Amino acid sequence: MVTGHGLDAPDSGLRAFIEAAFPTVWALETLLRLHREPERSWTPEALVADLRASGPLVEDCLAILERAGLIAQLDGRWRYQPASTTLGELVDRLALTYAERPFSVTGVITKKGSGALQGFADSFRLGGWKS
Q: Which residue type, as a one-letter code, is found at position 59?
A: E
Instruction: Report the distance separating Cα 98 and Cα 32, nearest Å.
Output: 9
Instruction: Report the distance separating Cα 91 and Cα 13, nearest Å.
Output: 12
pLDDT tens readout for residues 20-70: 999 999 999 999 999 999 999 999 999 999 999 999 999 999 999 999 999
pLDDT tens readout for residues 73-95: 999 999 999 999 999 999 999 99
The answer to whether 1 touches 39, Cβ cutoff 8 Å, is: no
Domains and CATH numbers, the chain: 19-114 (1.10.10.10)
pTM over 0.95: no
**Which residues have CB under 8 Å from 120's CB, separation 6+?**
none
The answer to whether 30 touches 58, Cβ cutoff 8 Å, is: yes
For residues 6 and 92, which has the higher predicted lDDT (pLDDT)? 92
Instruction: Report the distance separating Cα 61 and Cα 58, nearest Å.
Output: 5
pLDDT at 10: 80
SS3 of the chain: helix, strand, coil, percent, to 5? 65, 10, 30
